[in-house]
Each structure stands twice: as structure tokens, then as C-alpha cells.
Structure 1
Amino acid sequence: MLMPDPHHRDLMLKQELSQQVGGRVELTPAERLLDSLLHQLKVKEMAILPFPPAKHFFKVRHVIQKSPVFKLLQKMPKGKKSQGFSGRSHLSFDKIILYPAGAALHIHSSALVSADWLVLNATYRPNCYICFMREGSVRFIFSAYMPFPRWGCSFWSRLDTLRAGLSDVTAFDNSLMKNFTLFTDDPETAFPTQDAAWKRFEEIFVALSGLVTYAPVFKDYIYQGLKELYDDNIMYLELRVGQSRAYELDGTVHDKAWSLEVYRNITEKFRENHPDFIGSRVIYSIHRSLSVSTVKQVVQEAIEMQRQYPDILAGFDLVGREDTGGSIWYFREALSLPSELKKNLTFFFHAGETDLDGTEVDRNVLDALLFNTSRIGHGFALVHHPLAKELARTRGVAVELCPISNQVLNLVSDLRNHPAGVLMSDGHPIVVSSDDPTLFGTTGLSYDFYEVFVGIGGLSANLGTLKELAMNSIRYSSLSSLLKDKAIMLWEEKWNKFIADNSKS
């Protein structure tokens, strides 16, 4: 056999690279300069032992924080002018302009802000009571008087009184923070199985509930969540919002319309202070552990809410663990209601967040497409379904990729083996998001972008990959065409500044 033609080999390599996410993005000379440096940094990064994406995020977060690649993605000098990129590896990374990541399209409302803020701000407010559960968890409630027994709590302590009697308040506050996060130094021991991780995961949401649904906290919590995203250069948010209702100090409980209006009002207030922030919308959600009749009722509410608040409400989703909850097909009667009533309701389904190949749960990715989902949340199992994968690509149904979430919940240990690597190589529409930042010890999207760019994408992922992923987050959002155009223009201005400030020699 004759030796293969090296020119033919080069053509094959170029054709393959052109098919990946970002492979058809034409880079300017300045972009190519920055891309070359990024490649050099990534080569050095891949020589690090342990290589961060190969290890559990909790064990290497401190390593990632020191990474030049991460700092390039994450850090921005507030109020300072960038000194530019020198083209050398010993750069002053504290002067690099932040990579403009675009939009966050998959975050849950109860896990939006840092645990630090929850403890040091929310729990220090007057009339905050705490209950310590037998299994080691906690519950919170704000009340003008001693709360009655509820939620399995027979005794409540007022936090200001409790702290006044402590010798080490800092240690106590640190212990409270542990109730709001899965973060631990030894995750394999703490969460040896998916069941163990999910059990703790769902306990945290219950612990958070009474704290973040208190109306005054709720308003500040949304603003703080937008700020933490904005500080990571996120310009738009789509938030999964559950069925919990906000309450006042006297016990008054607000309806869901009140909460939607708060989301709108707080977003507008935030935009007044940050004019380059595009806005936020919510995706109405219900837990998949509930009955068909309950889900049907909530679907009816969602239809009405989307009619009343089309600017705020983007659509509907089923949330919660797929492996133990009802499948999309199980809820088909409820999910068919909009079509039967000839009403509009956009779906954004969690689907394929499982490794149970061949089960009803695994088939959620197919059923999500049958119900014309606009995006697929997680889509971890999508690569096992070539028909669904091709349908999603043809229809422009993006996968909401949340790599740290998938790793923490034990779907994959080494992120180099994440199935999204196949999707990225194939140019499948993908958006990167962070799912539950509070619980994972992250803020914004930079950590997840790092894992995608360095781990899942490998050396093939380049500046064009980052550019397309950021633009995808706007393209596949629920924004109107007019607002998408505005967002793209604003993002391009940020991108061009990012390139100009970071590619100077």
C-alpha cells in the first residue's frame, strides 16, 4: 500500500475541525493572535498533574482558580483599564479584560446566589428563626413571633439571640454555609453514589426554601443573583422558577403573579443601574415527582401566566431527578393540554440527565422533541439516540450543557469523557450554563466554561469555540428576534473590546 498523501490528510483534518463547534468561525488577525496564546496556555494546562477536568471539581476548584486560562475567562479589572496582552505566558492576569460569555439559560431560582451572601446577609435579618433537624439539616422561617411547629420542627431558635450566646460566631456561620452547598473536600466519600448526591442535593433546596421565599429577602436575592452573573459578564438570564410562594413577616402568602411581577421589577431596577444588561425571563417549573393531575393544573396556570406576562414568562419545564420522577411520556396528558386548547406554551425540558440507557427515563430526549421542546436541559443521554440527535440539530434545539452539575451528581467523573465532547465535535447546537451555582460553590459561568473549553473540548476547542458558544446563548434564548439582534450587537461590542484589549503586543 502506498503511503497516504499528506495533503489529503491535511484536508481531512481541516474538514473535521470545520465541523466542530466554532469550526466555521472566521477569526480576525487579532483573534488569531489571542487564539495562538490560548492554545499555548492550554497545552501547559494539560501537562498539569492532576489535570483539573479529570478530577472532581470540588477537589480542584482551587487549582482552576489559579489557572491562566480560567483567569482569562473570568477576571475583569473593575474601573481599571486593561494593559493588554503581551503575548507572553507570564502575563499579569489581573489586568485581563473579561471574556464576554453572553447569557445563562439554565439556572434554578433557589440556587442562584453564593452561600456566603445567604448566610451573611439573609440570615442576619431581624426575625429570622432556625430549626436544627435530627438528620443534621436545617430549616428557616421569618416570623414576628415564635413560629408554630411545622416541617418536622418542634423547636425554633431566633438567630440573633442564638448568635449572641456563641463564643465563635464565624465558626457557626461557616457551619451554616455547609447546609447550602454540596461542596466538600472529600466528595467521593460524602457522595459515593448518585442516590447519595441527589439526596443531599434535594435536602439543600428544602433548607433554602424558607429563607429565600421571605419577600424582603426574595427581592434582594434576585438582585444579588443578577449582580453575581453580571460580575461574570453575563448579560441575560433565563431562570427555572418553582412553585414556592413568597411570604411576609405576618404570614401572608403571595400568589405566583406577585412573584412574576417582582422578577420583572427587580430586573428593571437592575437594568437601570446596569444599562448593558439585557434582562431576564423565567421558565415556570414543577417537580416531576408530583401527580399527573397536579402537573396538568400547573400547565393550565402556566398557559394563563404566559398569556398575562409574555415579557416575563418564557415557558414551562419539568424539574427534579429524572431517574426517580415521572418521565415526559408519563405526563403526556398534561403536556398535551396546550395543543388541545390551541394555546401557546413553550417547553424547555430537562431530558436525558441520566445514564440509564434504554429506559423510559433515557427516552425523555425523544419525548422532549415529540413535544417540540425549544431546548434540552442537560441532554447527557442524547448521544445514545442518533435520531433524536439529528432531529435536535435539524430543528435547532440546543443542549443546555452543565458539566460541573453532571460531574457532581455522579453522571461522569472525568470530564474529558463527557458525551458533550461528541456533540461539540459534531457542531451540535450547545449553550453552557451552571445549573445550581449555590450548591456547587461556583458563581457565574466561568467555571463551567473552563471545564468545557479545557476538558470537554480538549486542544481542538479554540477561540472560535468560545465565540460560538457565547453567541449560541443569545441565538437559542427565548428573546424576541428584535431583542436577540440588540443583544448580539451589544455582545459583539464587548467581544471586540475583549479582543482589542487582550491581543495587544
Structure 2
Amino acid sequence: MCAKVNLLIIVSLFVLTNADYWNDREKLIKREESQMLGSSIILNEAEQIANKILMGYKYSEYDAGFQNPGIFAPGRHFFQSKRDVENSKVFSFIQKVPKGGALHGHDTALASFDYLYSLTYKANLYGCTVDGRIRLKFLSYQEQDKTCKWTLISELRKNEPDFDKWLRSQLTLDVSNPREEYPDINAVWKAMSDIFGTVDPLLNYKPVFEEYLYQALLELYNDNVMYLEFRGVLPAMYDLNETVYGPMQVAGIYKEVVDQFKKDHPNFIGARFIYAPSRKVNNATVENYIKIVKELKKNYPDFLAGFDLVGQEDLGLPLTEFINHLDQIPKDIDFIFHAAETNWFGTSTDMNLVDAVLLGTKRIGHGYGLVKHPAIMEIVKEKGIGIEVCPISNQVLMLVEDMRNHPAAILMAQNYPVVIGYDDPSFWSTKGLSYDFYMAFMGIASRSADLRLLKQLAKNSLTYSMMPATEKKLAIEAWETDWQQFIDKIISENYNC
């Protein structure tokens, strides 16, 4: 009898202990999920219905990848998985999401590759080959120089059967075997620098750039993005009359295109410009940068969003080289610095984070190395410094192979102020923000991350923008209207109501 009683007690204790374990496990999971980006959002009844649709798509795709990792798009190089992304129901859903603003993109790489390539069919476009690279230029007549035999692109197309294939390869990083084509980070950056060198004279022709920027805005607008902050170097523009346009004139051209687009598309909130010249320069050049950004603030105070320095950080000069110069920039001009776009830890590139924060940067471009710096992470969260995460760029430029290993997963898990950018979509054959949103949602975030994450990312893009407070408030209100219409549309499409 006593043995039976003792056995019952043991079984009862096991059941109780077992129940306690599962309760504790559930509490711990909930505790972690409550700290994730977007976790504070409470979905209303309609949003819960839309979320159920989204998560049905996500679980199906995610779990298929878990069973067969080779088919999981975020785990492969984007150039080899792009078609699978485009066939994804999650991607189709994300394309419809009102995504707020795009806060990280560069002026001569904003539009899709297909549109960029279509510009090579423009009249008066000449080309020649120097050291294996195509040079492009719009001319009113066939001029010659010692290094270049300028020939109409239309003639080159007519006379050389493989010219188009070769020309396309000169304008994109998108290749079938990226790891073979670009053996290391310096190689892929060199290739991108070469592309910029080819593209810039094409786009710096004033009539073409006006069309190009308008198209870039249109592609964002069609991707349900309502606002843009883009970086640029204000290159000299030209026309067939041999007029050369200087920095202030170029800024005016940018603004005129934006104003015209807003007039044509009243739902588009607008765009602002971040003056972002090269970081690999001498002191005299930096002095000129400061002069230009001061003039920009004077002439276009509502269009200028801030100041940055760009280029490959590992080979460029660190922010410490510019401290004395940066002190000369008026306090009413905000810094929006690239920092720690690197895999190195403790190098000058990595330490750009320290200087960016000390200099008062409002956002951090990329910040790939941020998670290695707990003290800086504390400051970022405390001061609300937005982190511009560009997933596809980070993969193409060889910081991360597999999106599941992207350090932004840590930032999302701990509710850091992440915003999603697209960097240079022309060169990796994307269009709009949806591709990068997809990678963030499916590859970087948790399997359990849901509609609340997408909503938070969209809101963050407006919250951490450089819009003035009043304009920002109106933009968020407009976005909330778009969001509700989006939710209604999703439900209608899926339930025929």
C-alpha cells in the first residue's frame, strides 16, 4: 500500500514539474517576443485577419526552407535567388504594404537596371572603349580625342552582334556566379566603382538625369513608398550646348524634378537630399565640401536633409581625419553618417561608429558592425539614432553570405530603431523597397515576426526621417490612411468581400 502511495506521489510530482517546465518555457518565449521590433503594436481585428493570411504564406515558405535549406531564398545569394523571391507569395504581399520612406539610396543608382539600360538607346549617345571599359557621353557631333574614338552607340549596336550583351555587363554587378566573379570585398567594390564611372556621364546629361530621377521616384511610388531621402555628390551636369551646371544648379535640378513629381502624384510626400561626397579626399577638397553644404543650407534649407561622406569605408579615410573640418559645419546641418559598413572589428572603419555617435549623427548608414559595440548600442537606443539596414547591399558587397546570419537580427530581436534601405538598386537588379523588406522579414527576422514588424518598419522610416515635426506628423497620418486601405484590400482580395 505504501509503495503504491509513494509511486502516485512521484507521478504527481513529475506531472506538476513537467507542467511547470512547459509553463516556464512558454513564459520565456513570450518574454523574448515581447522585446522584438514591432512587439508593442496591437493589431485590430482587420489587421489580425490580414496577419493570418501573411503568416500562412510565411510559415509555408519558411518551413519548406527549414526542411530543404537549398531552396530558401534568403539563404542564397540574391543574384541566384531573385526569381524565387519574385515568385514568393510573401513578396507579393510585401509589395502591397505601404512602406513609408526610403532613407538610404544613392542618386545615380536609384532606378531599376532595366530603366537604366533603356537610356543607352537615347539619341546622341556616343561610346568608346578604354582599358576594357565602355565610356559614355552625349555629344552633338562626333568629337575625337587621343584616348577615345567616340562612336554612336546605335552604330556599335549595328556593327557588333554581341555589343548589347557586353554593354549590359558593364552596367550591373548582377552575374550568374557572383562568388567566382568577385573573389573578395575589394573586388566587388572595384567593380561597383567602375560601374559608377560608366554610368555617371550617362546620367549627368541634364535631360537624361531629369527623366532618371523622375523614374526613380515613380518606381518607389509604384512600390507603395511615399517619401525618399537620397544621398548624392552633386556632380557637374552638362547638355549638348556645352553648358556645365555647378553644384547649386544641380541641387536645383534635383528639387525641380521632385517638385514636379509631387505635383503629378499628390499622395507622394516628397524627397530630401543628403549631400554625401567621397571620403577618400585631401583637406582642400573637404574645405570645398563644407563650402558647398553651407550654400545648400542657405539656398535649399527645406530640401537639404544632412551631410555624409561615402565610399568604401575600409579603403577610405575614417571620420577622425575630418574632425577639425566637420566642426566648421553649422549645427543646423545634421550629420547622417555611413559607419561600420565592415566585417572588421576594432579597425578604423569599425571605429567610425564611435565618431559618428560623438558627432551627433541622426542616423547610421548600414552600421553593420554595431552589434559588436554594446556601449554604442546603448547610446543608439537611448538617443533614438536610426539604423539604415540595407540587406541586399550587404550581401552583394560581401559582408554576409546568408541573410539568416545578418547582425540586424540582433537589432530586431531587441527593438532597435531599424529602417530598411535599398542602397544601389540599379546595380543589383531590384526596384523599390520590397526586395529588401522581403529579406528583412523572411531572412533576418524571427520565424514568428509578423505583420507588426512590417508595420513598425514602415512607421520607423517616417519617424526617423529628417522631415520637420509638423510635416512628419502629417506624413504619418497619411501613411495610416494608406495602411488601413491596404488592410481592407488584402481582406477583400482573399475573401471576395
Give the TM-score of the pair, scaled to structure 2.
Answer: 0.92
Q: Check if 1:187 corresponds to 2:165.
A: no
2:35 to 19, 24, 41: 19
Displacement of 1:18: 1.5
Return the alpha-carbon distance in structure 2 between the equivalents of residues 162 and 205 of structure 1: 21
Residue number in structure 1 paired with 2:354: 366
Is the 8 Å Cα contact of residues 226 and 270 (structure 1) preserved in structure 2? yes
Q: Check if 1:162 corresponds to 2:121.
A: no
1:72-151 alignment, distance < 5 Å: 72-74=93-95, 98-120=96-118, 122-134=119-131, 136-149=132-145
Residue number in structure 2 paired with 1:467: 455
Is the 8 Å Cα contact of residues 293 and 334 (structure 1) preserved in structure 2? no
Return the alpha-carbon distance in structure 2 between the equivalents of residues 200 and 104 of structure 1: 25
RMSD of aligned Cα (Å): 1.6
Q: 1:148 to 1:333 in 2, by over 3 A?
A: farther
Displacement of 1:139: 1.2
Residue number in structure 2 paired with 1:77: none
Residue number in structure 1 paired with 2:310: 319
Letter in structure 2 aligned against 1:104:
A
Is the partner of 1:261 in helix, strand or coil?
helix
1:38 to 40, 50, 54: 54
Return the alpha-carbon distance in structure 2 between the equivalents of residues 99 and 350 of structure 1: 27
Is the 8 Å Cα contact of residues 350 and 379 (structure 1) preserved in structure 2? yes
Q: Check if 1:176 corresponds to 2:152.
A: no
Is the 8 Å Cα contact of residues 115 and 177 (structure 1) preserved in structure 2? no
Residue number in structure 1 paired with 2:224: 233
Return the alpha-carbon distance in structure 2 between the equivalents of residues 472 and 281 of structure 1: 17
Return the alpha-carbon distance in structure 1 between the equivalents of residues 22 and 341 of structure 2: 42
Is the 8 Å Cα contact of residues 279 and 309 (structure 2) preserved in structure 1? yes
Return the alpha-carbon distance in structure 2 between the equivalents of residues 115 and 41 of structure 1: 29
Residue number in structure 2 paired with 1:62: 83
Return the alpha-carbon distance in structure 1 between the equivalents of residues 256 and 42 of structure 2: 40
Unaligned 5+ runs, structure 1: 75-97
Residue number in structure 1 paired with 2:377: 389
Could you report, residue by residue, the CA deviation over 1:177-209 in whole angstroms, capped at 9, with x for unpaired residues? 221110011111111211111110110000001
Is the partner of 2:430 in helix, strand or coil?
coil
Residue number in structure 2 paired with 1:439: 427
Could you report, residue by residue, the CA deviation over 1:104-154 in whole angstroms, capped at 9, with x for unpaired residues? 00000010112222232x2222221111222x321111122223438xx42
Residue number in structure 1 paired with 2:202: 211
Is the 8 Å Cα contact of residues 22 and 427 (structure 1) preserved in structure 2? yes
Is the 8 Å Cα contact of residues 127 and 136 (structure 2) preserved in structure 1? yes
Letter in structure 1 aligned against 2:355:
D
Return the alpha-carbon distance in structure 2 between the equivalents of residues 118 and 173 of structure 1: 13
Return the alpha-carbon distance in structure 1 between the equivalents of residues 319 and 258 of structure 2: 32
Structure 1 consecutive aligned stretches of length 4 or more whose deviation exceeds 6 Å? none
Is the 8 Å Cα contact of residues 105 and 230 (structure 2) preserved in structure 1? yes
Is the 8 Å Cα contact of residues 296 and 333 (structure 1) preserved in structure 2? no
Is the partner of 2:307 in helix, strand or coil?
strand
1:484-503 alignment, distance < 5 Å: 484-503=472-491
Is the 8 Å Cα contact of residues 370 and 377 (structure 2) preserved in structure 1? yes
Return the alpha-carbon distance in structure 2 between the equivalents of residues 21 and 183 of structure 1: 32
Displacement of 1:243: 3.7
Displacement of 1:490: 1.1
Richer in helix (by share)? 2
**Identical amino acids, percent of aligned pairs:** 40
Residue number in structure 2 paired with 1:275: 266
Q: Check if 1:421 corresponds to 2:417.
A: no
Return the alpha-carbon distance in structure 2 between the equivalents of residues 193 and 502 of structure 1: 43
Is the 8 Å Cα contact of residues 137 and 201 (structure 2) preserved in structure 1? yes
Is the 8 Å Cα contact of residues 352 and 362 (structure 1) preserved in structure 2? yes
Q: 1:292 to 1:27 in 2, by over 3 A?
A: same
Q: Check if 1:308 corresponds to 2:304.
A: no
Unaligned 5+ runs, structure 2: 1-13
Return the alpha-carbon distance in structure 2 between the equivalents of residues 426 and 115 of structure 1: 35
Return the alpha-carbon distance in structure 2 between the equivalents of residues 344 and 131 of structure 1: 45
Is the partner of 2:320 in helix, strand or coil?
coil
Letter in structure 2 aligned against 1:175:
W
Return the alpha-carbon distance in structure 1 between the equivalents of residues 117 and 447 of structure 2: 40
Could you report, residue by residue, the CA deviation over 1:16-53 in whole angstroms, capped at 9, with x for unpaired residues? 21211101101011111221222221122121342111
1:299 to 290, 302, 305: 290
Displacement of 1:503: 2.4
Could you report, residue by residue, the CA deviation over 1:413-466 in whole angstroms, capped at 9, with x for unpaired residues? 011000000000000001001000001110001100000000000313210000
Return the alpha-carbon distance in structure 2 between the equivalents of residues 462 and 21 of structure 1: 10
Is the 8 Å Cα contact of residues 113 and 430 (structure 2) preserved in structure 1? no
Return the alpha-carbon distance in structure 2 between the equivalents of residues 325 and 236 of structure 1: 30
Return the alpha-carbon distance in structure 1 between the equivalents of residues 219 and 133 of structure 2: 26
Is the partner of 1:132 in helix, strand or coil?
strand
Return the alpha-carbon distance in structure 2 between the equivalents of residues 422 and 258 of structure 1: 43
2:443 to 448, 455, 459: 455
Is the 8 Å Cα contact of residues 182 and 188 (structure 2) preserved in structure 1? yes
Is the 8 Å Cα contact of residues 39 and 459 (structure 1) preserved in structure 2? no
Is the 8 Å Cα contact of residues 104 and 473 (structure 1) preserved in structure 2? yes
Greater Rg by CA: 2
Residue number in structure 1 paired with 2:7: none
Letter in structure 1 aligned against 2:142:
M
Letter in structure 1 aligned against 2:490:
N
Displacement of 1:343: 4.5
Letter in structure 1 aligned against 2:171:
F
Is the partner of 1:459 in helix, strand or coil?
coil
For these two proteins, the number of residue pairs brought into alignment is: 472
Displacement of 1:380: 0.2
Residue number in structure 2 paired with 1:220: 211
Return the alpha-carbon distance in structure 1 between the equivalents of residues 379 and 287 of structure 2: 27
Is the 8 Å Cα contact of residues 353 and 379 (structure 1) preserved in structure 2? yes
